[in-house]
Amino acid sequence: MKGKVMAASFFLIVVLMGYTFWDNQRIIIVKQDVVIEDLPKELEGFSIVQITDLHEKEFGANQERLINAINSIPYDAIVFTGDMMKNNSKNAVPFYTLIEGIENKQHALFVPGNTDPKSYRTSSNNLEKSEFVKSMEKQGVRLLDSTYTVKRGNVHAQFVNFEWSLKTKNKSNKNENLSSNKKNYPKKKNSDLIIGLNHYPVVDSHIDALLTDPSVTFRYYDLIMAGHYHGGQIRIPFVGALFVPEAWYEKSGLFPPQDRVKGLWEYKHIKQYVSAGLGCNGPIPFLNFRLFDSPEINVLTFKSGKTE
């Protein structure tokens, strides 16, 4: 009996290892509709592909499988929400190979993550873009260092670097800030659709802190897009993610709220979408794999309708 149990356990371990290896190499395309009340008809069906947390992972020779997956999708914009590289690495080839093979880069934007090289460097007392960013932009992907607007007919979809947009408030703009009072949320300004790009998710407690901080301007967003969590990276069936790297949680991300790990949610009228991304990373080398957490690229499509 004991031998049968050991044999069965060994068989299950082999199956799990085989499945995990296969699952880490595949790519799933996750589609999500984002319902916006009073969305202009010109922006109905406006779609964004999100690529995040590549961490230098390669999907086939010269990123062939990942490139083919992206090129199979019709979209209006493509965004890269950080961590294309590994910590302290200079191997940008997997990322550059990827963006070189992408066909639709008419509106392609990048915001940096915590493992990417710095976006700017000081040269002769002047601030200039880093070589990492310069090479990326030569291949058609733009660093989003402020705002970027896509025009459809007479309406505009505006992309904003969320983290860099949090600026010190002064007397002249104090009425443009969000208030903790729901009645004081600002109306849309200048654009018909406003999308914030950030590497880090902005958790509920962080939003609360920003709303009550008199020193920053928190602008209106129809949607914030982020990555960073890897969907938890190690997930347990019927349980979910055991940990996400999030300093704003009491236990620093241990046993996080599962409805805030990945996907779409809304808090205080702010919708947010977090992708589980493609690669893996972490301080413990032998845990640098994804378990029950398939690599994903995301397609977000805006629809008009009533929000709850």
pLDDT in tens, 78-106: 999 999 999 878 899 999 999 999 999 99
43 DSSP 8-state letter:
G
How confident is the prediction for the chain on average, in pLDDT? 90
Question: What pLDDT score does 75 carry?
Answer: 98
pTM greater than 0.75: yes
pLDDT at position 274 over 90: yes
Angle at 227 between CA 217 and CA 88, to 5 degrees: 100
C-alpha distances in angstroms, 46 versus 75, 157, 195, 197, 221?
A: 8, 9, 12, 16, 16
Question: What pLDDT score does 239 carry?
Answer: 96
Cα 145 to Cα 23: distance, rounded to the nearest angstrom: 35
pLDDT at position 23 over 60: yes
Least confident piece of the model among 49-63, 76-90, 237-251, 277-291: 277-291
Question: What pLDDT score does 208 carry?
Answer: 94
Whether the Cβ atoms of residue 197 and residue 225 lie closer than 8 Å to each other: yes
Q: What is the pLDDT of residues 32-49, one digit of tens each?
A: 999 999 999 999 999 999
Cα torsion 151, 152, 154, 159: sign: negative
At 274, give phi and psi (nearest 5°): -120, 125
Question: What pLDDT score does 71 carry?
Answer: 98
Question: What pLDDT score does 168 carry?
Answer: 54
222 DSSP 8-state letter:
S
Q: What is the pLDDT of residues 147-196, one digit of tens each?
A: 999 999 999 999 999 998 886 554 443 333 333 333 333 344 557 999 99
Cα 36 to Cα 188: distance, rounded to the nearest angstrom: 12
